[in-house]
Amino acid sequence: MHQPEQLYSEGGTLIYDIDGTIYEDWPERRLAIELALGRKLNVKIGESLHDFVKVPESMTQEQFRQHLQHLDSGKLMMSNTPKENAAEVIKKWSGKYKTVYLTSRLAVSPDGYRTDHKLLEIFERDGFPLPDGNGVTLFMRLDKAQSPTDFKREQIRSTIIPHMSPLGGIGDRIQDARVYGEFGIYPIIFNKPRFQGKKMPEKTILVRDWKEVDDAISYLTKQG
């Protein structure tokens, strides 16, 4: 979202994923599925949503997927809540390191909705440091044909590595850990039951909450 010459950091950079990392995105995904199906889901908070989704007979699988993407374009984002202590930890470390929000959400959804504007609105609502072209930067996907993982990999390779000094990357998926690890960035990843038995990249730090994220960043600071 900002030109590379504005991004150079002598003090290091921390990269933050958004969905599932600093925000609980489960409520938004549940609402999007309910709107697509035209009914309420009998599901408890945090449960897998895939087990409760049956494509309506009136739609093909592809039609349902496209309809779901349309509903999940960012219009429901206000239903999300920040994870406890996320804003406090990010604000604390933004005083020492540059902050990069790196999300694979489309900045402008296929239906023309400005998801980037809505995201800034909820950042302000919830007290997160706002992108300012200097110490805080936001990267969002512009090309819907580009996969989320390829988008993050390309942004790190082409912009973050050449113009910043990334120290750690915070995320909630194994793919996040792998992309960070590819570039020698310490992955700080929210542990999930589905990670059981999965091989994580070397130097991955698994955390349960944002207090442990804070501890992990403190550890990396001492290592550096």
Condensed to tens digits (0 to 9), the pLDDT of residues 35-88 reads 878 888 888 776 777 667 777 788 888 877 777 766 656 667 777 889 999 999
Q: Is the pLDDT of residue 2 over 60?
A: no
Going by pLDDT thresholds of 50, 70 and 90, the confidence category of residue 206 is very high
3-state secondary structure of 195: helix
The predicted-structure confidence for 83-102, as pLDDT tens digits, reads as follows: 999 999 999 999 899 999 99
Mean pLDDT of 155-182: 94
Distance between CA atoms of residues 207 and 220, nearest Å: 14
The predicted-structure confidence for 114-136, as pLDDT tens digits, reads as follows: 889 989 999 999 999 999 877 99
- pLDDT over 70, % of the chain: 89
Write down the pLDDT at residue 27: 79
- Taking each helix axis from N to C end, the angle separating 61-71 and 26-37, rounded to the nearest 10 degrees, works out to 130
Q: Looking at the domain that runs over 4-25+81-223, which CATH code has it been given?
A: 3.40.50.1000
- Provide the whole-model pTM: 0.83
The predicted-structure confidence for 132-153, as pLDDT tens digits, reads as follows: 877 999 999 998 888 989 999 9
Write down the pLDDT at residue 3: 35
DSSP run (H or E) holding 145: none
Going by pLDDT thresholds of 50, 70 and 90, the confidence category of residue 112 is confident
| CA dihedral angle for residue 196, residue 200, residue 204, residue 210, rounded to 10 degrees | -40
Q: Mean pLDDT of all residues in the chain?
A: 85
Distance between CA atoms of residues 210 and 168, nearest Å: 14
Q: Is the pLDDT of residue 14 over 90?
A: yes
Q: Is the pLDDT of residue 5 over 50?
A: no
